[in-house]
Amino acid sequence: MKQLELLQNPKHRKLLVSAGLSWLFDAMDVGIISFIVASLAVEWQLSPQQVGIFTSINSIGMVFGAAIAGYMADRFGRAPVLVWTLLVFSVASGLSALATSFVVLCVLRFVAGVGLGGELPVASTLVSESMPVKDRGRAVVLLESFWAGGWLAAALIAYFVIPRYGWQAAFVIGALPALYAFYLRRTISDPPRFSSNRAARAISYRERFLAVWAAKYRSSTIMLWVLWFTVVFSYYGMFLWLPTVMVLKGFDLVKGFQYVLIMTLAQLPGYFTAAYFIERFGRKFVIITYLVLTAVSALWFGSANSEGMLIAAGICLSFFNLGAWGGLYAYTPELYPTAVRSTGVGLAASFGRVGGVVAPFLVGTLVTAGVGIQGIFIMFFVAILIGALAVFVLGKETKGQELLG
């Protein structure tokens, strides 16, 4: 990986890969759900509303996980909280294979969501605080690029495992990260910036929450909450429904999985280009540009009426959307001081996850009401542009600047 070579310190590269693998497992678990639900909908004869509930329940857990883990990481340390979140979601994923009813499966997916939602903001904060200024943005985008690896793993599991061994086998594979957590515990540690700031650990949750909304950070917090909500809303609304949308477009389940796998591959160059541009042109440029192009791609995908157009639009959608995600994770930790950084990131991510709760359920409701795929993707087009506008109006550039406090 050419981009990794730019991180000259072996310790930094090791941290990035170690945290990146935990990110990959997180993405694999989320990605597997989008494929499992397509299979479950057939096997358990789920209604569109139940499909929406099932895909949303994970995000409900992530709402709580992001907010709780963000505070816990500021209180007890980034590294230990990262390990515990990894354990929570992998164990819950493995137990999901034993579920015999829709309700039990939803409960387990909620618990898994708590771990999933907590892991992401803590990992991005850990990497952001550990990297030198010139590499910080690029490193966090590269961390986010492991998400594509996780979705690719999920797509491969869906294509080769689920049709032959059933959806339960996919959940069993999702339990394997629990073993990695024991390795991760020995290989990562809190950054010196956090370790030396011991006095800040005694601050209460209420004080941290109020600090995030203090006058100095209020415009950044408003911008981030709007940005996170619109990005998460559009991402989970579009991508968790992709395999099902392919079926609605007339493709059989296996063929739909194959096309989603092709679209998933486009995520990697999306990340790598964003990693290059973010240190060259800045955070705002990457986020706004990639979001606008994501919105255009969503409009194209919704109106595609041929196999070739559908795949091409889906590739562009993956490329630009995931590049924007990389910029989002790089940008967010840079807007808060060390004492409340993880709390600020966690709260923004938590509010964003509300969008992840609403979107899949809303799509299910709209499909049931007879709204066409084109109309649904116009909704995502508008939502994404609102996020880009918030960054344009309220965002401040942080490229080349030292972290606050």
The answer to whether residue 93 sits within a structural domain is yes
DSSP for 104-152 reads HHHHHHHHHHHHHHHHHHHHHHHHHHHS-HHHHHHHHHHHHHHHHHHHH
How many whole angstroms separate alpha carbon 278 and alpha carbon 8? 18
| DSSP structural state of residue 304 | -
Axis-axis angle for helices 133-160, 253-265 (nearest 10): 160
Tokens in use for 235? 């991402």
The pLDDT score that the predictor gives to residue 308 is 81
**Within-domain flag for 264:** yes
- The predicted structure's pLDDT at residue 215: 95
pLDDT at 373 (0 to 100): 83
| CB atoms inside a 10 Å sphere around CB 219 | 14
Domain at 383, CATH number: 1.20.1250.20
Q: How many folded domains does the chain comprise?
A: 1
Report DSSP letters for 346-376, one per residue: HHHHHHHHHHHHHHHHHHHHHHHTT--HHHH
pLDDT at 8: 66
Task: Output the six-digit token pair for 392.
Answer: 């344009």
Domain of residue 301, residue span: 10-189+205-394
Cα–Cα dist 55/236, whole Å: 9
Instruction: Provide the pLDDT for residue 40.
Output: 86
Q: How far is CA 336 from the centre of its chain?
A: 20
Is 199 a domain residue?
A: no
Determine the pLDDT at residue 24.
92
In whole angstroms, what is the distance from residue 368 CA to residue 364 CA?
Answer: 6
Amino acid at position 133, single letter? V
Half-sphere exposure of 318 (CA within 13 A, CB side): 26
Q: Note the pLDDT of residue 246.
A: 67
- pLDDT tens, the chain, 405 aa long: 455 555 567 888 889 999 999 989 988 988 888 778 878 888 888 887 787 788 778 889 999 999 999 999 998 899 999 999 999 999 999 999 999 899 999 999 999 999 999 998 999 999 999 999 888 999 999 998 898 888 888 888 887 898 889 899 999 999 988 889 888 888 888 888 776 666 566 778 888 999 999 999 999 999 999 999 999 999 888 876 776 666 666 666 556 666 667 777 888 899 999 999 999 999 999 999 999 999 999 999 888 877 788 888 889 999 999 999 999 999 999 999 988 999 999 999 999 989 988 887 788 788 888 888 889 999 999 999 999 999 999 999 999 999 887
- 24-63 CB burial, b ≥16 within 10 A, e <16: bbbbbbbbbbbbbbbbbbeeeebebebbbbbbbbbbbbbb
Question: For residue 82, what pLDDT is reported?
Answer: 93
Alpha-carbon distances of 379 from 36, 161, 207, 270, 383, rounded to whole Å = 25, 34, 37, 23, 6
Tokens at 341, concatenated: 């950084």
Instruction: Determine the pLDDT at residue 247.
Output: 67
